Amino acid sequence: MCRMSAPATTGLDRARIAELTEREQRRLNERTPASKAMYERARTSLSGGVASAYQEREPWPIYLSHGKGSRVWDVDGTEMVDFHNAFGSMPQGHAHPAITEAVTKRLELGTHFAAPTEDAVAVAEELKRRWGIPRWRFVNSGSEATMDAIRIARAHTGRETIVKIFGSYHGHHDYVMVSIGVPHHQIGSRENYASIPYGAGIPKAAAELTVPVPFNDAAAMERRIESLIEEGRHPACVIMEPAMMNLGNVLPEPGYLEAVRELTRRLGVLLIFDEVKTGLCIAAGGATERFGVEPDIVTLAKALGGGLSAGAIGGTEEAFEVVERGDVYQVGTFNGNPLAMAAARASLEQVLTPEAYETIEAREEQLLRGCQDVVDRYGLPGYSVGIGAKGSVTFSPERIVDYETFKENQDEELSGLSWLYNMNRGVYMTPGREEEWTLTVAHSPEDCDVFVASFEEMASDLTA
Ligand SMILES: Cc1ncc(COP(=O)(O)O)c(C=O)c1O
C-alpha cells in the first residue's frame, strides 16, 4: 500500500528546478498550438475557455479530442497514456466495448423518462451486495451525493452542525466548500480549526455550520465533538474520505477508521464515508470493503457511471427512514438516468470484475515500486504511496498524515515540474498539482513503464 520515504540524500537546487520548469513550460506551449487556438476561440463564449474551473491551466488548457483504452489524444494529435482518467472516473478505460454496447443499445430505446427503469434496480442491487449497505438512491454527481447524504443525516438526527476533515474536498455545495486549500498560517489551532469558506459566494453562516478536524487523529475528533456537544452544537454527522485523495494519497493509519467508527457510534453522530474517489477504485466494494469499517451512509459518483454522470447515496435502513417517510425530498429530474444506469450496470457486471481488480493491483504495485526505486536511487525528497487504482509520488521529506503536515512539507515546485515532465513525455496527468494517478483495467505494464521513465528523466535532470 505505502512505500516509505528514503531519506533525501541531496538538497535540491531551486535554481535548477526553476530552469527546468521554464524549459518544460516552453516545450509544452510550443507543442500545443491547436489547444492555444481553441482557447482563443473558446474564451469568447465559454467562460475562461473551460466548462469547470478544475479544467483551467495557464496559459491555456490542453483540449482533448478522444480516448481509447488507456490512451487519450489532444487536439494537436499527441497521444498520451492517461493517468488522469477524468479525476479517477474512468478505471474502466476509455470507450470500453461493453459500456459502449450497453449505451448504444439504450440510446435506441430512449434516453430519459424521469421514471425508474430496471437498470437502476440492478445497479442498486449490485451496490448493496458490494457495500453490504441496504438502501440506495441515485443522483448525477459527487456534489449532489454529499449534499443529499448530509441532508439525510441532518433530518435523521434533527441537528445542523456537521464535522468534516480539514483539507478534504467533498464537492461544490455550500455545506462542504469549507476549509480546503487554506494557506498554512490560516489553519488555526488543531483543537479548534477555522471554518473558512472556499472561494466567494459561500455564506459565512453556512460555513460556520461545518466544523473541520484533522485526519488521522481520532482523539482530536472525539475532543472536538465533545466540545461541540457542550456548546449545544451536537453534530449530525462526520463526513470524511476513508483515505484522503486530494492531497496525493493520504492513507488512514492502522486503527484510525475503527476508532472513528466507535466514537461516532458512541456519541450518536452518523458516519458518512465519501467514497466518490475511493469507491470502485480501491476495491470492488470501495474503502468500506478494503478497510472493513462500515459507515452509516456512503456516497459514490465518478467511477460509478462508467463515463456518464451518475452518483449514489447508500445508507442503513434507519438512516433512510427519513427518505422513505418523505421527510427528506431526495429528488432530481435526471436521477437514475437510463443512459447512465445502463453504463453503470455494464461497468459493474462486465468490466469492474474481481479479475479487473487483480490486474489493477498488479499495475499499481509496478508503478509504486518503479517510482520508489527512482526516489531511492536519486535521493529525492519524497515517497510513492497508493492503494488500488490510486497513487502518487508525494514530494515531501516527511510523511504526510493530514492537511497540516501536507502544507508544512509539500514541495509544490517539484510537483509542478513533475506535471510538466509528464505532459511532455506522453503521460497525461491532472492539471491540479495535488491530484493522484488513477489506473484502469486497460493499462499495460508498458504504459506504467512510460510513467516511470518520465519520472526518472526528471530525477536525472534534477540531480545531474
Ligand atoms: C471525495 C470527493 N467527493 C465529492 C466530489 C464531488 O464530485 P463532483 O465533482 O462529481 O460533484 C469530489 C470531486 O472531486 C471528490 O473528490
The residue contributing the CA closest to ligand 1 atom 15 is 170
Q: Give 164's Cβ-side CA count (13 Å radius).
A: 27
Q: Locate 458 and state its grid cell.
A: 526528471
Name the pLDDT band for 1 (thresholds 50, 70, 90). low
How many beta carbons lie within 10 A of that of residue 102, not counting itself?
Answer: 24
**Ligand 1 centre and the CA of 457: distance in Å?**
32
pLDDT value of position 246 = 86
- Closest-lying ligand 1 atom to the alpha carbon of residue 142: 7
Name the pLDDT band for 6 (thresholds 50, 70, 90). very low
pLDDT for 48-86, tens place per residue? 999 999 999 999 999 999 999 999 999 999 999 999 999
- Closest-lying ligand 1 atom to the alpha carbon of residue 241: 1
Mean pLDDT of all residues belonging to the chain: 96
User: Residue 5: is its pLDDT beyond 50?
Assistant: no
Mutate to test the pocket of ligand 1, among 172, 274, 276 (most ligand atoms within 8 A of CB): 276
Strand ranges, E, within 50-202: 64-68, 71-74, 79-82, 135-139, 162-165, 188-189, 192-193
pLDDT for 176-213, tens place per residue? 999 999 999 999 999 999 999 999 999 999 999 999 99
**Ligand 1 centre and the CA of 76: distance in Å?**
29
Q: What are phi and psi of 41, to 5 degrees?
A: -70, -45
Q: Which of helix, strand or coil describes residue 215?
A: coil
pLDDT for 343-393, tens place per residue? 999 999 999 999 999 999 999 999 999 999 999 999 999 999 999 999 999
User: Residue 4: is its pLDDT beyond 60?
Assistant: no
DSSP code for 178: B
- Least confident piece of the model among 7-16, 151-160, 283-292, 438-447: 7-16
Q: Locate 210 and state its grid cell.
A: 461545518
CB burial class (10 A; 0-12, 13-18, 19+) of residue 153?
A: buried
**Ligand 1 centre and the CA of 147: distance in Å?**
11
What pTM does this model have? 0.97
The residue contributing the CA closest to ligand 1 atom 4 is 170
pLDDT value of position 8 = 45
**Ligand 1 centre and the CA of 402: distance in Å?**
19
Mean pLDDT throughout 121-150? 98
Alpha-carbon distance 255 to 40, whole Å?
Answer: 52
pLDDT value of position 9 = 37
pLDDT value of position 2 = 46
**Ligand 1 centre and the CA of 37: distance in Å?**
30
Ligand 1 pocket (Cβ < 6 Å) reads 87, 141-143, 146, 169-171, 241, 245-246, 274, 276-277, 301
The percentage of residues in the chain with a pLDDT greater than 70, rounded to a whole number, is 97
The residue contributing the CA closest to ligand 1 atom 3 is 170
Q: Which of helix, strand or coil describes residue 424?
A: coil
Name the pLDDT band for 140 (thresholds 50, 70, 90). very high
Q: Which residues 6+ apart lie within 8 Å of 440 measured at CB?
A: 69, 70, 82, 85, 90, 91, 92, 93, 360, 389
Strand ranges, E, within 47-112: 64-68, 71-74, 79-82
**Ligand 1 centre and the CA of 215: distance in Å?**
18
The residue contributing the CA closest to ligand 1 atom 8 is 142
pLDDT for 212-268, tens place per residue? 999 999 999 999 999 999 999 999 999 999 999 988 999 999 999 999 999 999 999
pLDDT for 299-350, tens place per residue? 999 999 999 999 999 999 999 999 999 999 999 999 999 999 999 999 999 9
Mutate to test the pocket of ligand 1, among 144, 277, 299 (most ligand atoms within 8 A of CB): 277
The residue contributing the CA closest to ligand 1 atom 14 is 171
Alpha-carbon distance 432 to 248, whole Å?
Answer: 10
User: Residue 460: is its pLDDT beyond 90?
Assistant: yes
User: Residue 277: is its pLDDT beyond 80?
Assistant: yes
Q: Which of helix, strand or coil describes residue 313?
A: strand
Mean pLDDT throughout 403-424? 94
**Ligand 1 centre and the CA of 188: distance in Å?**
25
Helix (H) or strand (E) holding 132: none
